[in-house]
């Protein structure tokens, strides 16, 4: 099953392809869904080791007056240009290390790397599409991002966070507030002095581009362990707070700096310490000061936060957790290309399922509270926070659901109390073949599935003037193992999960990771004039 979907080179459709629509695409659905993911795995005689290493292939689905148009293009990053010019992989990725030419001065290279603390990473931005100001960027988790034209998918300019703020790495999952400002987190390693986690804000900055030039540091948080910082893929945000989970899934800095000389890849520099604890940092967005209370929980691994909000003197946040750090191992191409049953058996034992969990942090803590007291006063959760002898607070989460990843929700409720989230159902197959909806209040679960079909991360788009949280549609691109079934864009009623429309596309569509929906009015803002899409 996996061989026809994973590790196979994708192809471009640089000119718009009109889809064949069955059903009814709502006329109010006007805009473009950009999606990003790995799409090129072989160059010449060389091949990547890991699915997350593949060259980024960006694709777009444009909704206009009930019609759907598709196009795709490989991200013309510097990495892509170097690799294609050489017709082989010449730039290292996290799971694929390219070793230096032995004719070159390897000791000189080693000295340079050690001075820099970490190597210069690839700009193969294959994880997500993010917005800073009015600009859109292909992003991954390094210091480089590539600004793209969301209509043509062409690269406009390569940007380096380091030119604007002292960062070595940054997440591909920022948050946007109601004013249009962007908040993100990154890691500053030794090159910039004392190592810290950095929270920063990029103002909407409508009149000066790029917006990144106006970046402001909100705060920095020192590493708990100088040489072993926590890995993080996302974070939480409420109206007034940033939530950062410092997990015991750690990056070995010395091993990272010397990976190329140890003949190991960068991915092997991540280690999970199951004997450690997980610290939870709560930072005031306005003052940049961290709450002094020590919140902690048991060892866990988290990649994706779902949402967070404030409620009656508490901060509530939901995220997808794992009991170990083995998820990354599952996506090595050699593993994904196993026969289905062999894949299931080998990974079911080694990898824990994703669990949606709710944590609650009380904002006011009486130091005289007796040991063992539960400080959570909210009536709609079973999550607990227990006072410890040293004044720290031990957090016991509530389990909401098991088996969903790549969570999404109605972003108008981001940072606010909410009821629904959507995601890809993770069962022990190489690809998610279902998408689901969870009602947090009733715990009702609804899903969509179709034989031989593999949907991408679901994206919610609200109906115009919607009041109810789930009034809108779910968009997901679907690829099929059935050669008689074309790939298609699926449009579901977000309330019922019933199919409204599907737009079948006569083009190659690849399995992707994350995306961003841009309403048509935002395209108008991009050019300061009305844009007519000439399809």
- Which residues participate in the annotated binding site for Fe cation? 173, 233, 304, 514
Closest-CA residue to 57 (of 185, 160, 183, 148): 148
Distances from the Cα of 335 to the Cαs of 30, 225, 254, 328, 330, in angstroms? 40, 33, 28, 11, 6
- Strand bridging mode 175-176 / 169-170: unpaired
- The token pair at 441 is 């209040």
Separation CA 432–CA 423 (nearest Å): 10
Q: How many other C-beta atoms can be found within 10 angstroms of the C-beta atom of residue 274? A: 13
Our measurement of the distance from residue 34's CA atom to the centroid of its chain's CA atoms, rounded to an integer in Å, reads 14
The span from the CA of 161 to the CA of 152, in Å, is 24
For the chain, give the number of residues: 535
Please choose, from the candidates 274, 290, 297, the residue with its C-alpha nearest in 3D space to the C-alpha of residue 385: 297
Among all chains, which residue has been given the structure tokens 């294609």? 84
Quickly list H helices, 443-514: none
Please identify which residue in the block is written with the tokens 């429309």. Answer: 501
Which residues make up each annotated binding site?
173, 233, 304, 514
The tokens describing 471, both together, are: 């009034």
CA distances 230 to 17, 88, 301, Å, are 43, 33, 10
Residue 177 CA to residue 67 CA, distance in Å, equals 31
Q: Count the alpha carbons within 13 Å of 309 in the hemisphere toward its beta carbon.
A: 14
**Do the strands 514-519 and 499-504 form a parallel or antiparallel pair, or are they unpaired?**
unpaired
Which residue in 209, 217, 137, 200 sits closest to 172, CA to CA?
A: 137
Give the three-class secondary structure for 252: coil
Instruction: Please tell me the distance from the alpha carbon of residue 149 to that of residue 252, in angstroms, as a whole number.
Output: 36
Task: Give the DSSP letter of residue 451.
Answer: T
Can you list the alpha helix ranges (DSSP code H) found in 173-227?
none
**Phi, psi for residue 221 in degrees, rounded to 5:** -125, 120
How far from each other are the two terminal CA atoms of the chain, in whole angstroms? 35
Classified as helix, coil or strand, 85 is helix
Helix (H, G, I), strand (E, B) or coil at 257: helix
CA distances (Å), 481 to each of 269, 342, 423, in order? 35, 19, 21
| Backbone dihedral region for residue 65 (phi beyond 0: left; psi -120 to 50: alpha; all else: beta) | left
Helices (H), 1-105: 78-86
């Amino acid at each position: 099953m996996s061989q026809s979907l994973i590790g196979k080179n994708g192809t471009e459709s640089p000119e718009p392809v009109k889809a064949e629509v069955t059903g009814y695409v709502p006329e109010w659905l006007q805009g473009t869904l950009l999606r990003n993911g790995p799409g090129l795995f072989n160059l010449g005689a060389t091949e990547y080791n890991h699915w997350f290493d593949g060259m980024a292939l960006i694709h777009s689905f444009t909704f206009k007056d009930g019609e759907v148009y598709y196009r795709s293009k490989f991200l013309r990053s510097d990495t892509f240009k170097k690799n294609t010019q050489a017709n082989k992989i010449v730039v290292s990725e996290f799971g694929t290390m390219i070793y230096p030419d032995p004719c070159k001065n390897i000791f000189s290279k080693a000295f340079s790397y050690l001075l820099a603390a970490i190597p210069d990473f690839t700009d193969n931005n294959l994880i997500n599409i993010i917005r800073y100001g009015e600009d859109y960027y292909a992003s991954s988790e390094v210091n480089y991002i590539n600004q793209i034209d969301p209509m043509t998918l062409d690269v406009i300019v390569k940007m380096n966070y380091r030119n604007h703020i002292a960062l070595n790495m940054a997440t591909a999952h920022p948050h946007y507030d109601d004013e249009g400002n962007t908040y993100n987190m990154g890691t500053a390693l030794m090159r910039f002095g004392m190592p810290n986690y950095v929270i920063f804000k990029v103002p909407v900055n409508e009149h000066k581009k790029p917006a990144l030039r106006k970046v402001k540091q909100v705060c920095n948080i020192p590493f708990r362990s100088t040489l072993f910082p926590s890995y993080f893929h996302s974070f939480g945000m409420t109206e007034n707070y940033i939530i950062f989970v410092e997990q015991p899934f750690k990056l070995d800095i010395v091993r990272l700096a010397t990976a190329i000389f140890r003949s190991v890849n960068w991915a092997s520099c991540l280690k999970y310490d199951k004997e450690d604890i997980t610290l939870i940092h709560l930072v005031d967005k306005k003052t940049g000061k961290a709450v002094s209370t020590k919140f902690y929980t048991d060892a866990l691994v988290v990649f994706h936060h779902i949402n967070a909000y404030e409620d009656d003197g508490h901060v509530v946040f939901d995220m997808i957790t794992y009991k170990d750090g083995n998820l990354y191992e599952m996506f090595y191409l050699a593993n994904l290309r196993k026969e289905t049953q062999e894949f299931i058996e080998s990974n079911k034992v080694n990898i824990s399922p994703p669990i949606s969990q709710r944590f609650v942090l009380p904002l006011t803590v009486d130091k005289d509270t007796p040991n063992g007291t539960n400080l959570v006063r909210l009536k709609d959760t079973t999550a607990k926070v227990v006072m410890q002898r040293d004044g720290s607070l031990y957090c016991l989460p509530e389990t909401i659901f098991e088996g969903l990843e790549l969570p999404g929700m109605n972003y108008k409720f981001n940072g606010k109390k909410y009821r629904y989230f959507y995601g890809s159902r993770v069962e022990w197959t190489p690809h998610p073949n279902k998408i689901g909806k969870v009602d947090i209040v009733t715990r009702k679960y609804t899903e969509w599935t179709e034989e031989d079909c593999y949907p991408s991360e679901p994206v919610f788009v609200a109906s115009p003037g919607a009041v109810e949280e789930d009034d809108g549609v779910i968009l997901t691109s679907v690829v099929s193992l059935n050669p008689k079934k074309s790939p298609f864009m699926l449009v579901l009623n977000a309330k019922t999960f019933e199919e409204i429309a599907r737009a079948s596309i006569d083009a190659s569509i690849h399995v992707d990771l994350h995306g961003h929906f841009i309403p048509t009015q935002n395209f108008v803002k991009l050019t300061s004039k009305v844009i007519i899409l000439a399809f």
